[in-house]
Amino acid sequence: MGRFQRGIKDQSFIQALNDLRKNSDSSWSKMVEDRILFIAIRDEYIDVYYKGNSICKLSYNNGVIVEVHYKYLNLSRPQTENVYVKIKGGKYHEDIDLIKKASENYVDEEKSEVYSTILANSDNNVIDVEIAFPRADVLQKRKGIDTIDYLRLERGQNSNTDIRLVFYEVNLLINSEIKSRTTPKVLEQIDRCEEALHNHEADILTSYALVAKNLMKLGLIRNRDLIRRVADNPQSLSIDFKPRLIIPGYDQDQKDGEVWNAHRDKLREVLGDRLTIRG
């Protein structure tokens, strides 16, 4: 089983990004100032999201390297296997707004809903998206990953010393994985994620304590007070091992529909108040 890792340990990368931010013409400066983008810190690199699409990746190799998928640059598919265009020095050939516009053609409805849910959080203490946990299937002798949509910091019983990592999955009503005559696949997914949280507990806590420090050093915390508290006091961080499920787009037809209600009741029976259905 592989390790779960998040965070940037290379302080040269952090310094290079902060230097770029001083230049208002740099792509990094424009991304930081664009409040519609979500900046996700990975393992020694950064993914930048717009409406659920990862529109670019930033890494470091004696300077900041920006990688953008060719389709978001309105280019023809490269002849090589690498479909990402590398731009060293932190500048795009095209403006970030044009890249966002190009990415609109590839927006996935469910991912876009996840994105809207994140932006709707009033305190916006979401710290990560598209979280993948490595796993090893012992019976099949093959490796795989378990994923969940986003991770949010929330207050525990003691708001000053207890800050929880709470994981959320978002499924639209049209998603077949929330419906089944037996066990909906989404419940199996949530069970696997719960197991992954236990298996990777130490690495998860270490990773997100580092991510919080990275966000603080990069000046990306803004009003996300809980992230600031974790950066200042990593010992306050703990894991909520019970992932949540959100089902948006619920309307009166669904509320009155006997078929959907049977699926809803099956989810509610297992998840209880960890299930949120909203219209």
What does the pLDDT average to over 27-34? 92
Count of CB atoms situated within 10 Å of the CB of 76: 8
Of the listed ranges 39-48, 50-59, 140-149, 224-233, the least confidently predicted one is 140-149
Among 60, 50, 49, residue whose Cα is nearest residue 86:
60
Q: What's the confidence (pLDDT) of residue 261? A: 81
Q: How deeply is 115 buried, as exposed, middle or buried, from its count of CB atoms within 10 A (0-12, 13-18, 19+)?
A: buried
Asked whether the beta carbons of 177 and 252 are under 8 A apart, the reply is no
pTM: 0.90
Which residues does residue 251 pair with via DSSP β-bridges, in sequence order?
A: none
Of the listed ranges 31-35, 157-161, 202-206, the least confidently predicted one is 157-161
Q: What's the confidence (pLDDT) of residue 263? A: 86
Q: What's the confidence (pLDDT) of residue 186? A: 95
pLDDT over threshold 70, residue 233:
yes
What does the pLDDT average to over 131-155? 77
Which residues does residue 43 pair with via DSSP β-bridges, in sequence order?
A: 7
Of the listed ranges 52-61, 151-160, 184-193, 197-206, the least confidently predicted one is 151-160
* 207 membership: H or E segment, kind and range: helix 201-217
Residue owning tokens 């966002």? 100
Q: How confident is the model at residue 244 (pLDDT cuts 50, 70, 90)?
A: very high
Sign of the dihedral through C-alpha 208, 209, 214, 215: positive
Q: What's the confidence (pLDDT) of residue 150? A: 95
Q: How confident is the model at residue 138 (pLDDT cuts 50, 70, 90)?
A: very low
Of the listed ranges 20-29, 207-216, 230-239, 244-253, the least confidently predicted one is 244-253
Query: For residues 159 and 264, which has the higher predicted lDDT (pLDDT)?
Result: 264
pLDDT over threshold 90, residue 73:
no
Asked whether the beta carbons of 4 and 133 are under 8 A apart, the reply is yes
Query: For residues 35 and 158, which has the higher predicted lDDT (pLDDT)?
Result: 35
Strands 64-69 and 126-137: unpaired
What does the pLDDT average to over 122-128? 83
The mean pLDDT value of the chain amounts to 87
Q: What's the confidence (pLDDT) of residue 124? A: 79
What are the domain boundaries of the chain?
Answer: 1-107, 108-279
What does the pLDDT average to over 148-175? 89
Q: What's the confidence (pLDDT) of residue 54? A: 92
User: What distance in Å separates the CA atoms of residue 38 and residue 21, rounded to the nearest whole number?
Assistant: 16
Query: For residues 279 and 262, which has the higher predicted lDDT (pLDDT)?
Result: 262
User: What distance in Å separates the CA atoms of residue 134 and residue 28, rounded to the nearest whole number?
Assistant: 30
pLDDT over threshold 90, residue 48:
yes
Q: What's the confidence (pLDDT) of residue 260? A: 75
